[in-house]
Chain A
Amino acid sequence: MSAPSRPLAIAAVVATAVPLVAASLVIGGGYTWSDVLAGDGDGGLVLLASRVPRTLALLLAGAGLAVSGILMQMIARNRFVEPSTAGTVESAGLGILLTLLFMPGAPVVVRMTVAAGVALAGSALFLTLVGRLPLGSALMVPLIGIMLGGIFDAATGFLAYRFDLMQSMGAFGSGDFSIVLRGRYEFLWVIAALVAAAYATAARFTILGMGEAVATGVGLDYRRLVVFGLAIVSVVTAAVVVTVGAVPFVGLIVPNVVSLVLGDDLRKTLPVVAAGGGLLVLASDVAGRLIIAPYEIPVGTIMGVVGSLGFLMLIFGRRHAA
């Protein structure tokens, strides 16, 4: 396959986005489009206070996680790495617990900042580990990340149990967008800014995927760029976990599918990765609202199932390419 077709990808994104967004704006709102347009009942209010924020939150979180995934893959130079297989999500959770312990009344900004800081430290520790250990196979890299995440999780669980915070921490476990209302998700807009920053530096991150020697050879400051990338990933992850909880595997599946079709020149593909991530999370959430309606399955659970299947397929399909 050659000459990847970007217009086709854009057409596919638009064709998927329009019906999905329309569906997300009405499903579970207890109204129909004609109610809203006619001004009947509370439809308009529900739409603006709940459905619009929820849809935006889904798109932002998905886009941010998918972009985080591709950045991690370029930084770690491994196809199987993303925030939930690199200890990033779990260290963000540990950060949240620390704020609950030491600053129980702290505003969301503080909570997110601490979570992002701990996530940055956790991901840096992960990179240091995979850099030091002799790795026989590309599959060892995510395994180490998952183990490291398990250790962070265990520490969080122990502390939460010890200090009676299990219930408060439960909210951050599995991504759930049913709690999103106007006034409670706006923090996710920071993701839009970070995705824009990643896009502005897309050429540099592509070069990062060619390794330290090539990056240094063309005059980039390798370490500074790695730290910059990890900072984007950590803040995005922390913002998502603090606002709606963890959504695994988005950063794994979307970048890998885009890579197979369009390649990895991030100057061209990053917008597609972002759009794909947003739409995948949106689709999972719409499905979660439909499967056992009027109840909901959290998007974190759906992505856990879909994502682990996708992860397995990737492992079998790209073992050699990684």
Chain B
Amino acid sequence: MIEIDRVSKRYGDAAVVDDVSLTIPAGGVVAIVGPNGAGKSTLLSIVGRLIKADAGRVRIDDLDVATTPGRELARRLSVMRQENHVVARLTVRDLIAFGRFPHNRGRPNRDDADRVAEAIAFVGLTAEADRFLDQLSGGQRQRAFVAMTLAQDADYALFDEPLNNLDIHHAVALMRLFRRMGEQPGKTVVIVLHDLNVAATYADRVVVLKNGRVAGDGPPAEVIDQRLLSEVFRVDGDVLEIDGRRVITVAR
């Protein structure tokens, strides 16, 4: 369980995350959506202990992320950020193998090699495994970083806008992969998304942020509605229901 308890983060005068309290139970796929500047990435980074909150605290299975040793936390929680500027020239396999670092501290054994091969196959990069990252396309690189997270095998996997730079084919493949991850026992996937249709299709639960506050929280069928479109996202459009799924169309 992820417990976010009255967390705030300010940059200058602007409160980017404003007194947010949220409980995310273990299991399934959770999407965090909201307009630009709503504080989605900041909140995710605070949960992933990449940014320190100004106030409040975050606990992962009763471990406070601000005080738990990094090594212990890394086995429970993985984070993939939006931008992954890597100066080290690594092969796909090397990169993904570093996902095992919390488990082996840099000394891989046979079990690690198997898990790395599994992660590579999971994202469909087996043919590219021995190529350098700088020889891959943007989408392949993105998948390599996802595989690194897979290899880390944490109970909670956080992803910040993982679909950036991906065409629809790879975006769908990746979302299916996240669903498979989230359906494994004891695994929870939290994803910051900007596409409401993607969130509606793949998430078990949608958390809506606006101006640093929670503006909605629940299953897609409850959260994604006309009011969300007009009040939170300020667009004219319709929310349809097709095969029991919410689908958004916007007015021209």
Is the beta-carbon distance between B86 and A211 smaller than 8 angstroms? yes
* Contact assessment for A211 and B102 in the assembled complex, using a CB-CB cutoff below 8 Å: no
Q: Is B178 an interface residue (CB 8 A)?
A: no
Q: In the bound complex, do residue B87 and residue A77 qualify as a contact, i.e. CB atoms below 8 Å apart? A: yes
Query: Which residues of the other chain, B, contact A202 by a CB distance below 8 angstroms?
Result: 106
Residues of A with C-beta under 8 A to B130: 2-3
Tell me how many residues of A have a C-beta within 8 Å of chain B: 33
Contacts of A74 in B (CB 8 A): 87-88
Question: Is A35 on the interface with B (CB-CB < 8 A)?
Answer: no
A1: B residues at CB distance < 8 A: 132
Q: Are B98 and A209 in contact (CB under 8 A)?
A: no
- Kindly supply a per-residue 1/0 record for chain B positions 49-83, scoring 1 wherever the CB is within 8 Å of any chain A CB and 0 otherwise: 11000000000000000000111111100111100
Give every chain A residue within 8 A of B98 (Cβ-Cβ).
203, 206-207, 210, 214, 218
A211:B74 contact, CB within 8 angstroms: no
Separation of A2 and B132 alpha carbons in the complex (Å): 7
Contact with A along B94-112 (1 / 0, CB 8 A): 1100110110011100000
**Interface 0/1 of A213-224, CB less than 8 Å to B:** 110111111000
Q: A3, A214, A265, A322: which has the most chain B beta carbons within 10 Å?
A: A214
Kindly list chain B residues whose C-beta atoms are within 8 Å of the C-beta of A289. none
B132 touches A218 (CB 8 A): no
Q: Which residues of A contact B152 (CB under 8 A)?
A: 217-218
Contact of B106 among A211, A214, A267 (CB under 8 A): A267
Q: Which residues of B contact A211 (CB under 8 A)?
A: 84-86
Say if the beta carbon of B89 comes within 8 Å of chain A.
yes
A209 and B72 contacting across the interface, CB-CB below 8 Å: no
Tell whether, in the assembled complex, residue A219 and residue B101 are in contact, meaning their CB atoms are under 8 Å apart: yes
Residues of B within 8 A of A (CB): 48-50, 69-75, 78-81, 84-91, 94-95, 98-99, 101-102, 105-107, 130-132, 134, 152
What are 21 A-B pairs with beta-carbon distances under 8 A? A2-B91, A2-B131, A2-B132, A3-B130, A203-B98, A203-B105, A206-B90, A206-B98, A207-B101, A209-B86, A210-B86, A211-B85, A213-B50, A216-B70, A217-B80, A218-B98, A219-B74, A219-B102, A263-B88, A267-B106, A321-B134
